[in-house]
Amino acid sequence: MSSQKKVGLFVTCLVDMFRPSVATSAIRLLKKCGFAVVVSPRQTCCGQVAFNNGDRDTARNIARELLYEFHDCDYIVAPSASCAGMVVKNYGELFPHPDRAGHLFGHNLYHFDKNEDLPHRADGFRAKFYELSDFLYHVVNFQPSNIAPYVGDRKISYHDSCSSLRDTKTFIAARGLLARAGVAAANLADAEACCGFGGSFTTDFPNISASITDKKCDDILSTAPDILLSADLGCLLHLVGRLSRRGAAVEAFHLIEFLDEQAHSQFLLPLGKELNNAAQKTPAAQQPAK
């Protein structure tokens, strides 16, 4: 029997729909680290959109489906602090243990078959779930010797997502990986400010979202970057759409794509080049740019 550990890759909805190359890069990096990678074709969503909008029943039904994936994996990773935060922080609320359900809700709100033992299944799932950069940095101890140090002369800026700053704290790992890769990313003046995406926030409040995004774009452009990196695709999609409307010549990549490019000399089109049309269709991106 093989002793090779298995890593399940939770692709995420946005990567699946808008930037599958992030998943391809993740697979290459994980295999380079010696893991067998499992990508379940049955996986869908983590349930975050429904959860954030208060629809706990729908979120619970979606999450329940995910709990039955990757059951034979040693670890599960997602290239998104947003999705990782949803699983690690909120699945306990969706599937509380019976002795805590009354405390949390006043009554038991979920009615799945008790034989499923979803609270313990959710506990096990959460325990082996990681945001991908956090997994590479803290669990794998991915070192510069694994990849060629960045020797390019193009200036790089990095955007920390709200989820990575406040939910998962994985911004430390993402920036640590960049440092190990020889990248001195320019610091944004207001690095902890939101990009204005926030999932359905951008569609529910497009004008407010656009205003927040414009401030973030000002901050990014003040660093005069050639490349913008982030570990959350939702933020990047949102920012690229807005930056492209300003005519800014900034290439954007997911952090995992950048590391893969350094490790395997992969050539990837910048995010704005292939997704410009799709990103410009978001409500905030359609607001007049400065």
Distance CA 233, CA 79 (A): 8
Q: Take residue 159 and report the two structure tokens written for it.
A: 């955007």
In what side-by-side order are the strands of the sheet with 156-159?
A: 156-159, 227-230, 251-254
Query: Strand, helix or coil at 131?
Result: strand
pLDDT, tens digit (0-9, with 9 covering 90-100), for 223-234 = 999 999 999 999
In terms of Cα–Cα distance, which of 128, 85, 127 is closest to 234?
Answer: 85
Which amino acid is located at 230 in the chain? S
pLDDT, tens digit (0-9, with 9 covering 90-100), for 123-140 = 999 999 999 999 999 999
Distance CA 191, CA 127 (A): 29
- Torsion angle, alpha carbons of 4, 6, 7, 8, to 10: 160
Instruction: Check if the beta carbon of residue 95 is closer than 8 Å to that of residue 122.
Output: yes
User: CB under 8 Å to 224, separation ≥6 — which residues?
Assistant: 155
Helix-, strand-, coil-residue percentages of the chain, each rounded to 5: 55, 10, 35
102, exposed or middle or buried, with CB in 10 Å at 0-12, 13-18, 19+?
exposed
Distance CA 30, CA 28 (A): 6
As a residue count, the chain comes to 290
Which amino acid is located at 193 in the chain? A
Distance CA 67, CA 4 (A): 23
Angle of CA points 75, 92, 101, to nearest 5°: 150
Q: Which residues of 238-269 are buried (b: 16+ CB within 10 A; e: fewer)?
A: bbbbbbbbeebebbbbbbbbbbbbbbeeeebe
pLDDT of the residue at 119? 92
Low-confidence ranges of the chain (pLDDT < 70): 1-2, 100-114, 144-149, 151, 266, 272, 274-290
pLDDT, tens digit (0-9, with 9 covering 90-100), for 154-197 = 899 999 999 999 999 999 999 999 999 888 899 899 999 999 99
pLDDT of the residue at 195? 94
What does each C-alpha distance from 138 to 167, 172, 181, 192, 233 come to in angstroms?
17, 10, 15, 22, 21
Distance CA 215, CA 181 (A): 29
When the pLDDT of each residue in the chain is averaged and rounded to a whole number, the result is 87
User: CB under 8 Å to 50, separation ≥6 — which residues?
Assistant: 56, 58, 59, 62
